[in-house]
Amino acid sequence: MPASTAPGRDATPATLLGPTALVLGTLALCTTWLPLLMEDLVWLWAPFPFIMLAGAFSVTAGAAGIHYARRGECRLWDSVVGTVFGAAGFAGCLTLVMAMFSG
C-alpha cells in the first residue's frame, strides 16, 4: 500500500501568509518612500493604486500570518516584518493622498 497523500501539518496554506506579507510589504514600502528620498525614482509612483492595495493586503496577510504563527503553523518573523512594512507603505500612500488634496 502506498504512503498517505494527505497533507501534513507543514503543508497548510498558512505557511505562505508570512512570505506573502513580506513581499507585498516590501513592495509597498519601497515604492512609496524611495521616490520621496530620491527624485530620480519618481516613476515608481506610476502604479500608485496597486501600491496602496499591496500595502493593505500585506497588513491583512501579515495579521493572519501572526495569528497562525502563534498557533505554531508558520514562522512569526516574516509575518511581523511584512505587517510593519505594509503598514508603513500604506501610511505613506495615505500621506501622499492627503497631501495632494489638502489646500
Q: Which three cell numbers stand for residue 17?
A: 501568509
User: Cβ distance 18 to 69 under 8 Å?
Assistant: yes
How many helices (H) and strands (E) the chain has is answered by 3, 0
Which positions of the chain have pLDDT values less than 70? 1-11, 103
pTM assigned to the model: 0.81
| pLDDT at residue number 38 | 78
| pLDDT at residue number 11 | 65
Nearest C-alpha neighbor of 57 from the set 75, 78, 83: 83
User: Cβ distance 28 to 49 under 8 Å?
Assistant: no
| pLDDT at residue number 81 | 96
**Cα 38 from chain centroid?**
23
| pLDDT at residue number 84 | 97
| pLDDT at residue number 6 | 59
Domain regions of the chain by residue span? 27-101
